[in-house]
Structures are given as C-alpha cells and as structure tokens.
Amino acid sequence: MIPQPFLNTIATKHHLSKAELEVLSLAMEGESIGAIADLLKISEDAVRKRLSEVYHKFQIVGRGPVKLPQLQRQLMKQYQEQLKAQGDLALNISLGTSYHLTQPQINNSMDWDGAPDVSVFYGRATELALLKDWIVNQGCRLVSLLGIGGVGKTVLGVRLAHQIQEHFESLIWRSLYFAPSLQEFLDQLIKVLSLNKETPNLNTVDQQISWLVSYFRSYRCLVIVDGFESILSRGKLAGTYREGYDNYGKFLKRIGEEPSKSCVIITSREKINEISYLQGETSRVKSLKVEGLGEDARFLLKEKGLSAEENWQQLIEDYRGNPLMLKLVAATIQEVFDGNVKDFLETTFFTHDVTGFVRELLDQLSELEAKIIVQMANEKEPIILQQLRENLSGVSSQDVISAVASLRQRALVEKSRDGFTLPPVIRATLGNGYHLPN
Ligand SMILES: Nc1ncnc2c1ncn2[C@@H]1O[C@H](COP(=O)(O)OP(=O)(O)OP(=O)(O)O)[C@@H](O)[C@H]1O
Ligand SMILES: [Mg+2]
C-alpha cells in the first residue's frame, strides 16, 4: 500500500485540493465509489467528479474503468523509485531512551503538506537574511517567528524554508491548526522521516521524543511547525498551554537543549515559554518578532489596484503594515470607493471585516488583560502603569504587570515614552461594541 505521507507530498506537487486528496487516498486503499461516497457523506457523482479532476491533474487519459489502475501503477512506481533512491533505514534500538540510527541515510524527502503558495511575496529581506544566518551559519536548532495574527508569519516561514531547503536532507511542514496531540504530531513526523517503514515500537511520548532527538542529531532535517497558538489556551495569559498539551513544552525543551544538525521553526501568535527561557545571543535557540510590512506594504496596495498614493502611508500606518488587515480593507476600498484611499479615509479607516478579525484576537485574552485594554480605550492619552494599578483596585501589581507584558507580547498594546497606548485598529474595535469575555 502507498503510505499517506507519500500521497500527501505527491498531491501537493500536483496541486490536488484537500477534497481530491481525500478521495484519492480512499481509492488507493481499494474502496469502491459507493463506499467512498458513504464514508465522506457525499454523492457518488461527487466522488466521480473529484476522481476525474485527480486523473486530469495526473494526466491520466483513456477510458473510465482503466484510469484508476493506471493511476495506482503510476503512483506505486514513483513510490518504489523513491524508496530505492533512499536506501534502507536501519534502526537499532538500544535500551533506555536513546536510539541509534545505524546506516547513513539520505532522506531527501520534502513534505509540504498544504503549506501556502508564496509566489506573491513582498519585502522581508532583512528578516530572511537574519533567519538564514541563524539557521545556516550559526546552526540554530529551534527558532520561533512570533507576531500578531495576519502579520505574515506563515508565509515568511514558507519563504524561508524554500530558501534554505538545500541545506537539509529532509523537510517537513506541518500546521497545528487542528490541534493534534503531541503523540499524533510526533507519530506523523516519525512516519515521514522513516519513510513509513517499520518504525520501532515507540510506546510513550518520551520514547518518540528520544527517537526524534537521535534522528535530528544524525540527519539534517528542517521541520516547520505552523500556528503554535492553536494548542495554547483561550482566556489565559499569552503562552499558556491548553489542557493536555503542555507536553509540547517538554518536546521543545529537549529540541532546544540537545545537540542537533536539524532545525525546528515554529510560527506563533503567542510567545512560547520554553523558547523564551532558552533563547539568547549566543544560544542556538532564537526568536524573531515579526512586525508589519512597513513601506513594502505599498506593493500590496498596488497589487490590489488602489489609487490616491499620497494617502497610502496613512493607511499603512493605521494598520501597522499588517498585510492581512490591509488586504481586507483594500477589498472594501476597491468595492465601495473605486479603490480611492483618500475617499475611504475621509469616511473612516476600518471596516467590519477588520474588526471581526481583531475581535478574534481579543477573544483570546484573559479577563484582566481584557479589563486593561478597555481602560486604555477609555483614555485618549498614554496611560502609565501606576494609573492602571490605581484603577484596578484589588488586583496585585504583579498581576497587572504580567497582564500588560502579555498584551505587549500579543502586539495589542504599544509602549511610548509617555506610557501604554492601543494601536488604532484595536481602539476602533473596542469602540465598536466590545464585550468583556465572561
Ligand atoms: N510579505 C508578504 N508579501 C505578500 N503578502 C503577504 C506577506 N506577508 C503576508 N502576506 C499575506 O497576508 C496574509 C496573512 O499572512 P500569513 O497567513 O502568513 O499571516 P500569519 O502571521 O501567519 O497569520 P495567522 O496568525 O493568522 O496565522 C496572507 O494572505 C499572506 O499572503
Ligand atoms: Mg499563520
């Protein structure tokens, strides 16, 4: 049988959608059209339609009934060729927690699993140069890309991975969007890295981690973990794990501390505590704060066909160069104001699309964080810590300080010489009927 990770990789190469891959995977397992329709709760016609799209993308021609066997043969052949090229991976499991990989193995597998396309990508030359230096020259083994939602962490991660992949034997890109348990997540990594062959009996998460740590010591793997905030908690300070997920921290600690030829890059809206403890100038664990696009956001506005260039600076500044928010607002400017930024700014500077997105970010806050930003929204001038503490009677100074630090980390609060303030979009959202979380 053809293993799923191989199918995933090949599906990405042939631009199959998730729905098409799903049907293909079941068909490759020998399921009939009727069974696939039942399993996916769709009509048989829909299954046939998806399959015919798959045949088209794999350039399989001929009569209907012969297409599936033809595709199966083609995929099996490619899979066997890949296996042959990669040689055998012999695993010699020693007792205890350390595993030795005996035969040298060139994996050369690239598993992008549905990472976004980054053919349109502006700016970030400084960030890319710095990240490359950390990873390729300094041998960093754990790097986080932190920043507010929509700022461009995911596409920066993908772009970076494209640029440095030649320095690695294998590459895996995985999203944590569906919040897999650590065990599921590591199981997937191990399957891909061992090319889905017999993996040793790894009964516990600790054994899985040890296997990976050994593997990372022997081979150069680049692993990109996207959307780490999915396993972090809502309603708590930034960086708090969801219940049952704190073993991810243990995994990162070992990756950060033990010798390795590999690198794990993580994108996250919230800080990752283990990385905060380990990072440092001379350490092989580092974090990059991803800020807005700045001047380069102009390329984005140009691409969207906006006009009144003399007002673009203002728009970019209001949104702190956040590409997702700028894209959202640009669509409205295009539809309602014929693309004229000046006309738009004379009316307002934000839209419901944007405030909807910002509300999502605010929903993550702890009760105290939410109270603090509501206070800040009520003040026109920057507010100082002392004032905040006085207004929040009954709350300890330490709690106020931690909550402000958490808000700063989430990039929802800015700091000037005169005190703390809110970025315009956050202020606007709060002024538009925000309710404190219960
Ligand atoms: N440098 C860039 N050039 C062009 N478009 C960009 C750039 N950075 C981000 N974008 C666009 O902005 C949007 C948001 O980017 P991305 O998904 O990478 O953000 P993110 O920080 O990962 O957000 P989230 O926290 O929601 O996962 C995407 O549509 C992306 O294509
Ligand atoms: Mg992202």
DSSP 309: G
Of all protein residues, the one whose alpha carbon is nearest to atom 25 of ligand 1 is 149
| Helix/strand/coil percentages in the chain, nearest 5 | 55, 10, 35
* Ligand 1 atom nearest to CA at 227: 27
Residues around the ion ligand 2 (C-beta < 5 A): 154
The verdict on the CB of residue 122 being under 6 Å from ligand 1 is: yes
pLDDT tens digits for 9-52?
A: 788 777 787 888 888 888 887 888 888 998 888 988 888 888 88
**197, 85 contact by CB (below 8 A):** no
Number of the ligand closest to the Cα of 150: 1
190: alpha, beta or left, given left = phi > 0 and alpha = psi -120 to 50? alpha
Coil, strand or helix: which one is 298?
A: helix
Residue with tokens 């702890």: 366
Candidate from 124, 128, 144, 155 with most ligand 1 atoms within 8 A of CB, to mutate: 155
pLDDT of residue 90: 28
The verdict on the CB of residue 410 being under 6 Å from ligand 1 is: no
> E strands along 58-209, which residues?
91-93, 99-101, 110-111, 142-146, 170-175
pLDDT of residue 117: 85
The verdict on the CB of residue 321 being under 6 Å from ligand 1 is: no
For residue 171, list its beta bridge partners: 110, 222
Q: Which of 198, 208, 236 is nearest to 399 (CA)?
A: 236
pLDDT of residue 87: 40
pLDDT of residue 96: 29
Count of positions (residues) in the chain: 438
pLDDT of residue 102: 37
Candidate from 148, 324, 326, 358 with most ligand 1 atoms within 8 A of CB, to mutate: 324
Global pTM exceeds 0.85 = no
Q: Cα(232) to centroid of ligand 2, in Å?
A: 14
DSSP states along 106-143: ----EE-TTPPP-SS----HHHHHHHHIIIIIS--SEE
The verdict on the CB of residue 151 being under 6 Å from ligand 1 is: yes
DSSP states along 240-278: PBPTT-THHHHHHHHHHHS--S-EEEEEESS--HHHHHH
Q: Cα(33) to centroid of ligand 1, in Å?
A: 38
Of all protein residues, the one whose alpha carbon is nearest to atom 31 of ligand 1 is 155
pLDDT of residue 68: 82
* Ligand 1 atom nearest to CA at 290: 21
pLDDT of residue 95: 28
Domains of the chain in start order, with CATH, are 4-86 (1.10.10), 91-289 (3.40.50.300), 295-348 (no CATH), 359-430 (1.10.10.10)
pLDDT of residue 150: 94
**70, 60 contact by CB (below 8 A):** yes
* Measured distance CA(24)–CA(31) in Å, rounded: 10
Residue with tokens 């102009």: 298
The verdict on the CB of residue 154 being under 6 Å from ligand 1 is: yes
Regions of the chain with pLDDT less than 50: 86-107
Of all protein residues, the one whose alpha carbon is nearest to atom 4 of ligand 1 is 121
pLDDT of residue 105: 43
Of all protein residues, the one whose alpha carbon is nearest to atom 14 of ligand 1 is 150
Q: Which of 207, 219, 224, 211 is nearest to 172 (CA)?
A: 224
